[in-house]
Structure 1
Amino acid sequence: DKTDEHYNALHAMEKQLQGFKTTDNTPYNLIALPWPKAVYDDEQTRLPATYANYLIINNTVLVPTYDDVSDKLALTQIQQAYPEHTIVGINCLPIIEQFGSLHCITMQLPRGFLTGAAQ
């Protein structure tokens, strides 16, 4: 949406990503995610609704959804990126009220990290 306040920055980021290559000079296979409609809180502050704040756990990908027309496409695109995983949409409208989403509200710690930290 060219009228969205984030359009120019996201478009520039897209162009930058398209220029990235692997160490053997192969371009990455980029899969575009849709952009949900803008979501605002009671004070009309824009909230961080994005499908990119997903969480990969075991053989599942938890994907934020927003009761938006683009939710289904986002789930389809993420399934394309993770074909061996189960894709689960999670309504994150209440979570983004705190200015984060699924990935932000979780704490991933490598196995053994807490054991090592306690010593």
Structure 2
Amino acid sequence: TDGHVDNLARFVGEGRLALPVAAGHDDPNAHIYADARARAAALGGIEIVDLPSPGRIEIDGEIAAASYMNFYIGNSVVVVPTYGVPNDQAAVDALGALFPDRRPVAVPARGIIAGGGSFHCSSQQLPA
């Protein structure tokens, strides 16, 4: 997850926490996802919502901090990062279901994550 909490967990409603589910045995964050899930479940009173993981994404031979969790919630849309992998559509569909009053929009994100974040990260700060 490259240490970004918005690549790991996002509140998607009152008492509802979205967490990724590993895409397979080679998902580089599988153990992190499992740990986060166990900790959230131990808290009690939180509904855990599954979102897929894109799995292992490499850019120029390096594992990238790719996650569908780094989505951006706008007034009428949810911008979903995509990576050209099989779980892309499942992530778009899942986020569309979580935010039925907004249209999910899939946007290729390999270029933006090369800079160290994605859509949610890049929407957080305003330059001075």
Above 0.5 in TM-score? yes
Q: Normalising TM by the smaller chain, what interval?
A: 0.7 to 0.9
Question: TM-score normalised to the size of structure 1?
Answer: 0.76
2:76 matched residue in structure 1: 59
Cα offset, 1:64, TM superposition = 0.4
Over aligned residues, Cα RMSD in angstroms? 2.1
Q: Structure 2: how far apart are the matches of 1:20 and 1:77?
A: 24
**Structure 2 residues not aligned, in runs of 5+:** 1-23
Q: Deviations over 1:20-59 (max 9, x none)?
A: 44xxxxx3333211111312222x2211110000001112
Higher share of residues assigned strand: 2
More off after superposition, 65-74 vs 5-14? 5-14
Q: In the alignment, does 2:62 pair up with 1:45?
A: yes
Question: What SS does structure 2 have at the residue aligned with 1:104?
Answer: helix
The residue aligned with 1:113 is none
TM superposition shift of 1:76? 1.1
Shift >6 Å, 4+ stretches: none
Tell me, yes or no, if structure 1 residue 29 matches structure 2 residue 47: yes
Which residue of 22, 27, 39 maps to 1:4?
A: 27
Alpha carbons of structure 1 residues 33 and 96: separation in structure 2 relative to 1, 3 Å: same
Q: Deviations over 1:68-94 (max 9, x none)?
A: 100110011111211111111111011
